[in-house]
Amino acid sequence: MLLAVPTFAAERFEKTIHAAVDYQGGRVTIDHRFGRVSVRTSNSDQVTARGIVRSSDAELGKQIRFAVMNGTGGVSIRTIFPEIHSHSGELSYSADLEVSIPERAPLFLRNRFGSVDVEGLRASSEIVNGQGSISFRDSRGSQRIENSFGSITVQNSNGDTTVQNANGAVSISDVGGTLSVSNRFASVSVERVMKNVSIANGNGAVTVVDVKGPANINNSFATVELRNIGGTIDVTNQNGRVDASDINGAATIRNSFASIEARNIHGPATITSGNGNVSAIDIHGDLSVDTRFGLVKAEHVRGSLSVDNQNGGVTATDVTGDARVHTSFASVFLKDITGAVDVEDQNGGIAVSGLRGGCNTISLRTSFSSIKVALGSNASYTISARTSYGSINTDMPFTVTAKSSTDSTSTFSGTIGNGGCKMELNTSNGGITITRE
């Protein structure tokens, strides 16, 4: 049944249309434009629609109508606009649509140039919009939501959810299944997802908090922040800071031209960067860092440490495994290392202290700078040291087994304590110092 009630006012036309049809199964399809669409669900077996047309021109407003059809494939609601030719620039019109559908009915909704507001679906749906915001709440079943030039807000989607947007912010919370998001030129914010999250974005910040499963993030030209992730993370970013904390699995992070900070990673971490500082703290597994033109800071690593750097300093403290560092044109400071220490540097000083584990194999090599090693009073090492244009000094009891010196080069071999642990120190244009802690 259709009922149209026109209302006339000065330079304004408005009419309201009501329709109600029995739902006999299939999908509810809504095709609309130039206005807002609101969809709610009910326990009834009817699809009801209420449309409001507003126009600055009465003749135009009378021609805008809503077509409601019921067939074996479901219910179709379509807004029909006449062909409009206006050159005055003063013509305006809109059509708002409110629809109620049965809870069990699947939905396909397409809208343009208006907002979409959907709540309470209990079946799968697909929402496609353009030039308007989307608000989607309290659903069950798989959902697909697409928009452009407008924001998307999703709350309490208890099923797998796919969101695609462009030029509009995306905000999602409380998803009961997996979540997949793609966006560009706007931010993405995600909270509380029961399964895994996958996000592809560009030119907009990404924030992901409280995810039970793994998270895969690809972004550029904006920050990425992840907190409290229940599985592994895989992050690729460019020209934007990456901050990952409280990750209950392995972490793989790639970035360039911005910093990386990783904290409390409950698994191994692999970090690749360029032109940005790297900070990794509380890593419960092996840590591997490959970077260029940035500082590397590592603390509390419950595994081995491997750093490849160029033109950037390296500082590491409290490593329970081996520590291997390769850098250039910057210094290396290592403290409280349990395993073997292997450092290769160029044009940068090396300082090692707080060695733990009783016997650490040590190999330190640099050029145009100094090497300094601090040992405990009970240390036992067999030492081979060589420098050119520098001196070799120690304040610990030292037994010399071989020694040579020329105008430019000094070498000696010997033992501290009972010997046994191997230490090799080699530099040029710099001194070597072995001190007592």
Q: Write down the pLDDT at residue 10.
A: 41
Q: Which two tokens stand for residue 415?
A: 């033992």
Question: How far is it, in rounded angstroms, from Cα 265 to Cα 301?
Answer: 10
Q: Which two tokens stand for residue 227?
A: 């907190």
Residue with tokens 């407003």: 61
Q: Write down the pLDDT at residue 385.
A: 95
Residue 62: pLDDT above 80? yes
Its pTM stands at 0.92
Q: Which of 96, 120, 97, 94 is nearest to 107 (CA)?
A: 120
Residue 250: pLDDT above 70? yes
Domain contains 295: no
- DSSP lists the bridge partners of residue 152 as 134, 170
End-to-end CA distance of the chain: 92
Domain contains 319: no
Among 86, 110, 134, residue at a domain's last position: 110
Domain contains 23: yes
- DSSP lists the bridge partners of residue 343 as 325, 364
Question: How far is it, in rounded angstroms, from Cα 297 to Cα 315?
Answer: 5
Question: How far is it, in rounded angstroms, from Cα 391 to Cα 402?
Answer: 16
pLDDT tens-digit readout, 361-408: 999 999 999 999 999 988 999 999 999 988 899 988 888 887 887 767
Among 64, 79, 110, residue at a domain's last position: 110
Q: Write down the pLDDT at residue 142.
A: 97
Report how far apart, in Å, the C-alpha atoms of 216 and of each of 92, 177, 197, 284, 323 are: 45, 15, 6, 20, 29
Domain contains 326: no
Q: Report angle CA 223, 227, 230 to the nearest 5 degrees.
A: 130
Report how far apart, in Å, the C-alpha atoms of 48 and of each of 64, 102, 356 are: 19, 10, 75
Q: How many residues make up the chain in this entry? A: 437
- DSSP lists the bridge partners of residue 128 as 110, 146
Q: Write down the pLDDT at residue 36.
A: 98
Average pLDDT (249-269) is 98
Per-residue confidence band for 343, with pLDDT thresholds at 50, 70 and 90: very high
Average pLDDT (318-336) is 97
Domain contains 408: yes
Residue 6: pLDDT above 50? no
Strand 341-344, strand 362-365: pairing:
parallel
Q: What share of the chain is helix, strand, coil (3-state, %, to 5)?
A: 0, 55, 40
Residue 9: pLDDT above 90? no
Per-residue confidence band for 89, with pLDDT thresholds at 50, 70 and 90: low
The DSSP result for 91-136, as a single string, is --EEEEEEEEEETT--EEEE--SS-EEEE---S-EEEE--SS-EEE
Domain contains 90: yes
Total domains in the fold of the chain = 2
Q: Which of 353, 365, 344, 276 is nearest to 317 (CA)?
A: 353
User: Could you tell me what percent of the chain has a pLDDT over 90?
Assistant: 86
Average pLDDT across the chain, whole number: 94
Domain contains 406: yes
Give the H/E segment covering residue 51.
Answer: strand 46-55
Question: How far is it, in rounded angstroms, from Cα 385 to Cα 404?
Answer: 11
Average pLDDT (190-198) is 98
Give the H/E segment covering residue 60.
Answer: helix 58-63
Question: How far is it, in rounded angstroms, from Cα 17 to Cα 48?
Answer: 11
Average pLDDT (103-132) is 97
How many CA atoms are closer than 13 Å to the CA of 224, on its beta-carbon side? 31
Domain contains 301: no
Among 110, 132, 165, residue at a domain's last position: 110
Q: Which of 94, 69, 83 is nearest to 13 (CA)?
A: 94
Domain that holds residue 100: 1-110
Question: How far is it, in rounded angstroms, from Cα 77 to Cα 144?
Answer: 20
Task: Name the amino acid, one letter, at 74.
Answer: G
Q: Which of 201, 266, 269, 268 is nearest to 240 (CA)?
A: 201
